[in-house]
Structure 1
């Protein structure tokens, strides 16, 4: 796991947790604060998003320099949760209609 991704996990673990889940990989926080952490601390950019449910959006955040990526689930109540982490993100040129 890259050093920046490890740093992100440690940083987010110290933030106040707003919501809890049944599995330990889930980290939740206020959406604005989590977005700020991803952009300002990690240097990540949102690469895409899509509607999962009427009040839930899934977002993919990527750190270009390292290829680390995070899948963030954002709720209408102002809470966002990192639901998956990975490395070696590879964008595709395919653009579906």
Structure 2
């Protein structure tokens, strides 16, 4: 799944030269990126946090345990900076 996701994003998104666990940073307009993660890959945003005034870090996961770390910029661009497998959520879930 992860290799397929990377291939699809690499074939249609711009790349920014950087050394990351996925080899390249994969960038696209935020709407497109988030739509693909949710609709095409069944991922859901599990966590987010601010990284300065113009960046939001997000972790997206799917029901198979694959995860994707996305940086969403105020400019309207999002970049996948890391992805992996076997995500485990240790946070307690509210049963309500």
What TM bracket, shorter-length normalisation? 0.7 to 0.9
Report the TM-score, using the length of structure 1 for normalisation. Answer: 0.85
Any conservation in 2 of the 1:25–1:84 contact (CA below 8 Å)? Answer: no
Aligned to 2:54: 55
What are the within-5 Å matches in structure 2 for residues 1-97 of structure 1?
4-17=1-14, 20-23=16-19, 24-64=23-63, 66-94=64-92
Aligned length: 90
> Which 4+ residue blocks in structure 1 deviate beyond 4 angstroms?
none
Name stretches of at least 5 consecutive residues in structure 1 with no aligned partner: none
Name stretches of at least 5 consecutive residues in structure 2 with no aligned partner: none
Deviation at 1:94, TM superposition (A): 4.8
Q: Which is worse superposed, 67-76 or 86-95? A: 86-95
CA distance in 2, matches of 1:58, 1:15: 22
Query: CA 1:91 to 1:81, structure 2 compared with 1: closer, same or farther past 3 Å?
Result: same
Any conservation in 2 of the 1:73–1:80 contact (CA below 8 Å)? Answer: yes
CA displacement 1:39-96 (0-9 Å, x = unmatched)? 11110000010000100000000011x100011001000000001111000001358x
